[in-house]
Amino acid sequence: MLRQLKAPVLQISETRGNPVETFSRQTTPIGRVVRVQLPVGSFTWHRPVAVEVRQGETVHRLPIHDTTSRAISAIVLTGLATVLVPLVIRTILFRRRKTS
């Protein structure tokens, strides 16, 4: 009976795009792949993370920020905090009042 090699459930790897050479500068975009493999399905998330700029001997990395996701996360977290903080305070006050 043939046995398949068991693939890891979570795989995180880095990918590199094609380098672009302009003005004696080499620019290479870098991405990150997150892969979740389960027996019932799989999920792959690939996003850009940085740009590597090589000029002569110098190499520097510029990060790529996902502004939209950050803004949405901030909005959702603010909403949750606005609801949860008064709820917790109210519950604590109510319990105190009940015990006294």
Partner 1 sequence: MITEEKAQAPLVDPTGQALSQLVTTARADTVFGHPVERGDTTVIPCSEIAVGMGMGSGSGPVDEKGNPTGGGSGGGGGARGRPVAAIIITKEGVRVEPIFDLTRIVLASLTTGAFMLFWVGRFFFTKPSGKGPSFSQFKRTIGS
Q: Which parts of this chain interact with partner 1 (CB under 8 A)?
A: 13, 15-18, 20, 22-23, 25, 27, 29, 31, 33, 35, 38, 40-48, 51, 53, 62-68, 71-72, 75-76, 78-79, 82-83, 86-87, 90, 94
Output 1 or 46, the one with its CB closest to partner 1: 46
Helix (H) or strand (E) holding 1: none
Output 9 or 13, the one with its CB closest to partner 1: 13
Output 6 or 65, the one with its CB closest to partner 1: 65
CB atoms within 10 A of CB 83: 10
**Short-list 19, 6, 13, CA closest to 31:** 13
DSSP-assigned letter for residue 39: T
**Smallest separation (angstroms) from partner 1 to the CB of 84:** 9
Judge contact between 47 and 29, C-beta under 8 A.
Answer: no
Indicate the Cα dihedral angle 38, 43, 48, 54, nearest 10°: 40
Output 1 or 64, the one with its CB closest to partner 1: 64
**Smallest separation (angstroms) from partner 1 to the CB of 66:** 5
